[in-house]
Amino acid sequence: MTDDVEVDFGADGLVPAVAQDADSGEVLMLAYVSREALERTRETGRAHYYSRSRDELWEKGATSGHTQSVEEIRVDCDADTLLYLVEQTGGACHTGHRSCFYRTVDGEHVGERVFDPDDVYE
């Protein structure tokens, strides 16, 4: 028997969501999700997020083609953080890297660049 978990979207109506590669476990990115973004993700099976800088809902890969097919959505023990287990097509990061976590705090480049953002975002 299952019951939907009541996600705590907080005062700003957003909850952080970590996108993780469902096969390898690699952490790809962190973004924010509104109630509408979560509903769209559940309806379509494609990752939707809420852009705080643009103040709008967005579908991952709608512009770049670098989509995330969501295999499972998990919620943490406090119901205030989501985990999207995804199949990533192309790179997850707008900088062209497979993961947004492509460098250490010391500035060492440790991630793989999989596309040229100048070719994707005009």
* 8 carries a ligand binding annotation: no
Q: Are strands 14-21 and 82-88 parallel, antiparallel or unpaired?
A: parallel
* 80 carries a ligand binding annotation: yes
Quick check: 38 and 50 in contact, CB under 8 A?
no
* 21 carries a ligand binding annotation: no
* 12 carries a ligand binding annotation: no
Distance CA 86, CA 117 (A): 21
Task: Enumerate the known binding-site residues for Zn(2+).
Answer: 77, 93, 100
Task: Enumerate the known binding-site residues.
Answer: 76-78, 80, 93, 100
Task: Enumerate the known binding-site residues for Mg(2+).
Answer: 76, 78, 80
